[in-house]
Amino acid sequence: MQNLKNIAVIALNTFRESVRSKVLYNIVFLAVALAFFSIILGEWSVFDRAYVIKSTTLTIMSLSGLLISVFVGISLVQKEIQGRTVLTLLSKPISRAAFIVGKYFGLVAVIAVHLLLLTVIYYLILWMTHSSPTFSLLFAIYLVFCEMAIVVALALLFSTFSSPVLSALFTLGVYIAGHLSNELLEQVRFVRRMGEVDGTQSVMMEKIAIVVHAVFPGLYRFNVSAYVIHNIALPEHYLFFNSLYAVGYIGVFLAIACWWFSRRDFI
Amino acid sequence: MIQVENLQKTYHTGFLMRPKKVLSDVSFHVPKGSVYGFIGPNGAGKSTTIKLLTGLLRKDSGKILVAGFSPSSSESRKHLGYSPEQPYFYDYLTGRELMRFYGRLSGIEGKELEARIEWALSLVNANKDWADRRLRTYSKGMMQRVGIAQAILGRPELLILDEPMSGLDPMGRKDVREAIVLLNKEGVTVFYSSHLLSDVETISHRVAMIVGGRIVREGTVDEITSNSSAEYHIHVSCDIPSEDVPEGVLPQGTTPREWICKNGEQRDRFLNFCLQSGLPVVRVEHQRPSLEDVLTEEIARAES
């Protein structure tokens, strides 16, 4: 019980610390500005205006969430270590795991508030431009939140053992790999079927693609903008199974982060 | 309250992770209810030992028990309060908000928490005005006081303070000294490191001296200083040219009537010289060395 309380206290403090970050405000301001800019993009585009606004805004949500995870999330643990505030904190009767999990929930709360703000703006823009705001858009936004929850856990994991710059690069690398892993596997399989690469090489390439696909979190699963924009129903239990998928990856990343952090020396 | 036996610690530094041994075979025992001073030069291993006691570092080998628990368990930290050297805190909080944050992490809530905050802040003379100011406006001395206040907030049985008097003005030092003595009277065991040896001599029941990662002396101040080489100051009634006195014996300042003998052998040779030369000896003072003298002696020994 005390552990849960400690996690809540640390999460609240992390939230308070994060909302004072100038970087966060810059990202939020940029995201809001770009969301409004999507109205102009919709006018200029040869595509349907509603389609452009919806897809642009969902992309902005995902990318701004990524930037917050990378630039705010990674600095959170490093700031505690380099600023030496961690010395006093960890001398209290709290476990190091509670520290990591508390930091995680604090930052996830920041992302949640950010996405909530953008959702309100998103619906406002759709209402202003008569672009048929539908309830199903919330599914896409929820999945962006799940995706960001994974990315935050990943950023936190990297920040427990590497410098902020390396952590940022690792996180961005996994984000890109996670989005492209499915496409990579499909391309490799397609090339193999077409017989453009000789047998041994194509088997090897497929094996590599399968490993990449299996190891990196499949972040492509959380991009359902094509479904919701065109009002296509999501497969049955899609939200439920992908929520479980996200929880599984978050659990693994946080467990590794806690294990690593508990072994760390604070000189 | 603290039991340390054969403690070893090595840091691995640089890109190649070169090993650097910082503690070798460190053993000491801090009795319950005592004020225990931990002294040594910079880089001797004081802060490393303290961080091992608080679970911030992991030992290579040896045994550490804090209030009967291993420092790696959060159970041991329920019994201790710790203030690091040059404490750093969240500077966007006020002193009082910071205390609430740490209090909640120690499992204290509501009215009890507010009462303890008042008690802890008043004990280190952190007056109400600056307790409600943001920490970024605090001076080094104010930070040090808040550091001690947060350490005692949970009314720990054991207080571990790393250089608690550094950065404080004379009044601040006096406040901290008095706070340590007061807490000790209430039954708190205090383990602290310091460079201010006069303060250590005044308030410590026992002292451990660490040089080059090894405990070189341990005991009460009396025990440590009485086992060290004493100085003898011999006063004579007339001036003696320095070229005439036995080798090694030096005048005190510019006074050729007071002579310092570093040990008993020098004293005997100088007294023989006075006797043979017919020089009247006024008095012989046996000066017990201070902790500083002993520490200087031990550092010189380690370097040689």
DSSP line for A108-124: HHHHHHHHHHHHHHHHH
Amino acid B175: pLDDT: 82
Distance between A190 CA and the closest CA of chain B, angstroms: 44
Cα end-to-end distance, chain A, whole Å: 30
Q: Are B236 and B259 in contact (CB under 8 A)?
A: yes
pLDDT digits (tens, 9 = 90+) for B207-221: 999 998 999 888 888
**CA–CA separation, B230 vs B252, rounded Å?**
15
Q: Which 8-state DSSP code applies to residue B35? A: E
Element (H, E) at B219: strand B214-219
Mean pLDDT of chain B: 87
**Cβ-Cβ contacts under 8 Å for A255 (sequence gap 6 or more):** none
**In chain B, whose CA is at the least distance from the CA of A21?**
B92
pLDDT digits (tens, 9 = 90+) for A198-225: 667 777 888 888 888 888 888 998 988 8
Amino acid B36: pLDDT: 94
Higher-pLDDT residue of A55 and A194 is A55
In terms of residues, how long is chain B? 304
Amino acid B160: pLDDT: 94
Amino acid identity, position A236: E
Amino acid B225: pLDDT: 80
Amino acid A102: pLDDT: 95
> Bridge partners of B161?
B83, B192
Best of A85, A91, A95, A103 to disrupt the B interface by mutation (most B CBs within 10 Å)? A91
Range in A175-179, A239-243, B291-295 the model is least confident about: B291-295
Region of A130 please: left (phi>0), alpha (psi -120 to 50) or beta. left
Determine contact: B116 vs chain A, CB below 8 A.
Answer: no
What is the pTM (predicted TM-score) of this model?
0.83
pLDDT digits (tens, 9 = 90+) for B175-196: 888 889 989 998 899 999 998 8
Give contacts of A5 with chain B, Cβ < 8 Å.
Answer: 104, 107
Residue A192, pLDDT above cutoff 80: no
B155 Cα distance to chain centroid: 22
pLDDT digits (tens, 9 = 90+) for A27-51: 888 888 888 888 888 778 777 777 8
pLDDT digits (tens, 9 = 90+) for B29-44: 999 999 999 999 888 8
For the CA atoms of B53, B29, B156, B222, the dihedral, rounded to the nearest 10 degrees, stands at -120
Closest residue by Cα to residue A157 from A48, A19, A260: A260
Cα A262 to Cα A9, A164, B55, B66, B233: the distances in Å are: 19, 19, 10, 19, 57
Number of neighbours of residue B118 by Cβ within 10 angstroms: 14
pLDDT digits (tens, 9 = 90+) for A127-172: 888 877 788 888 999 999 999 999 999 999 999 888 888 999 999 9
> Hey, what are B49's tokens?
């030992």
Amino acid A96: pLDDT: 92
The tally of domains found in chain A comes to 1
Amino acid A42: pLDDT: 75
Residue B94, pLDDT above cutoff 70: yes
**In chain B, whose CA is at the least distance from the CA of A95?**
B74
Helices (H), chain B: 46-53, 74-77, 95-105, 110-123, 128-131, 140-152, 170-185, 197-203, 221-226, 264-277, 291-303
Determine contact: A95 vs chain B, CB below 8 A.
Answer: yes
Distance between B156 CA and the closest CA of chain A, angstroms: 11
DSSP line for B89-138: --TTSBHHHHHHHHHHHTT--HHHHHHHHHHHHHHTT--HHHHTSBGGG-
Closest residue by Cα to residue B234 from B258, B205, B202: B258
Share of chain A above pLDDT 70, in %: 98
Number of neighbours of residue A222 by Cβ within 10 angstroms: 25
Closest residue by Cα to residue B216 from B290, B300, B286: B300
Distance between B265 CA and the closest CA of chain A, angstroms: 46
Amino acid B227: pLDDT: 65
Confidence of residue B128 (pLDDT cuts 50, 70, 90): low
Determine contact: B69 vs chain A, CB below 8 A.
Answer: no
Determine contact: B55 vs chain A, CB below 8 A.
Answer: yes
Determine contact: B191 vs chain A, CB below 8 A.
Answer: no
**Cβ-Cβ contacts under 8 Å for A18 (sequence gap 6 or more):** A24, A72, A76, A106, A107, A110
Amino acid A43: pLDDT: 77
Chain-chain contact of A93 with B74 (C-beta, under 8 angstroms):
yes
Q: Are B132 and B94 in contact (CB under 8 A)?
A: yes
Amino acid identity, position B242: S
Chain-chain contact of B90 with A87 (C-beta, under 8 angstroms):
no
Best of A6, A14, A79, A87 to disrupt the B interface by mutation (most B CBs within 10 Å)? A87
Strand B158-162 with B255-261, pairing: unpaired
Packing angle of the helix pair A2-18, B95-105 (nearest 10 deg): 150
Is B294 in a helix, a strand, or coil? helix
Q: Tokens 């520490």 identify what position?
A: B295
What does residue A72 show for φ and ψ, rounded to 5 degrees? -95, -45
Is A148 in a helix, a strand, or coil? helix
**CA–CA separation, A61 vs A66, rounded Å?**
9
**In chain B, whose CA is at the least distance from the CA of A20?**
B92
> Hey, what are B283's tokens?
């008095």
**CA–CA separation, A145 vs A152, rounded Å?**
10
Domain that holds residue A230: 2-263
**CA–CA separation, B32 vs B53, rounded Å?**
15
Closest residue by Cα to residue B267 from B287, B237, B241, B243: B287
Question: Domains along chain B?
Answer: 2-226 (3.40.50.300), 231-287 (3.30.70)
pLDDT digits (tens, 9 = 90+) for A60-75: 888 888 888 888 888 8
Determine contact: A24 vs chain B, CB below 8 A.
Answer: no
Chain-chain contact of B56 with A93 (C-beta, under 8 angstroms):
no
Closest residue by Cα to residue A219 from A238, A200, A246: A246
Amino acid B199: pLDDT: 86
